[in-house]
Amino acid sequence: MSRHFSTVCAYLIVFGIAIFPGGMNAFLMASLLMDRRPRFHAATGTLPGLTVLIAAYNEEASIAQTIESIATQEYAGPLQVIVVNDGSSDGTAEILSHLDLPWLEVVHMPQNLGKARALNEGLKAARHDYTVTVDGDSYLYRNALDNLIRRYLSDPVHTRAVAGAVLVRNSRTNLVTRIQEWDYFHGIAAVKRLQSLYQGTLVAQGAFSVYDTSVLREVGGWPSAVGEDIVLTWAILKAGYRVGYAENACLFTNAPTTWRQFIRQRQRWSRGLMEAFKAHWQLLFKPRMTTLFIWWNLLFPYMDLVYTLAFVPGLLLALFGIYWIAGPMTLLVLPMAMLVNWIMFRIQAGMFAAQGLKVRRNVPGFILYSLFYGLVLQPACVVGYVQEFVTRGKRWGTK
Average pLDDT, the chain: 91
pLDDT at 89: 93
Decide if 64 contacts 91 (C-beta within 8 A): no
Angle between helices 189-197 and 20-34 (to 10 degrees): 70
Question: Which comes out higher in pLDDT, residue 188 or 393?
Answer: 188
35 pLDDT higher than 90: no
CA distances to 16, 18, 205, 303, 323 from 2, rounded to whole Å, are: 15, 16, 42, 19, 12
- What confidence tens digit (pLDDT) does each residue in 100-109 have? 899 999 999 9
Specify the number of domains making up the chain: 1
Q: What is the pTM of this model?
A: 0.92
- What confidence tens digit (pLDDT) does each residue in 239-279 have? 999 999 999 999 999 999 999 999 999 999 999 999 999 99
Mean pLDDT along residues 361-388? 91
Q: What is the CATH classification number for the domain harbouring 349?
A: 3.90.550.10
- What confidence tens digit (pLDDT) does each residue in 286-332 have? 988 889 999 999 999 999 999 999 999 988 988 898 888 888 888 77
CA distance 189 to 148: 15
Dihedrals φ, ψ of 73, to 5°?
Answer: -70, -30
- What confidence tens digit (pLDDT) does each residue in 196-240 have? 888 889 999 999 999 999 999 999 999 999 999 999 999 999 999
Bridge partners, residue 107, by sequence: 84
Signed CA dihedral, 198, 203, 206, 212: sign only: positive
pLDDT grade for 393, boundaries at 50, 70 and 90 = low
Q: What angle do CA 241, 245, 248 make, to 5 degrees?
A: 155
Look up the domain containing 256 and give its range: 1-399
CA distance 231 to 227: 6
398 pLDDT higher than 70: no
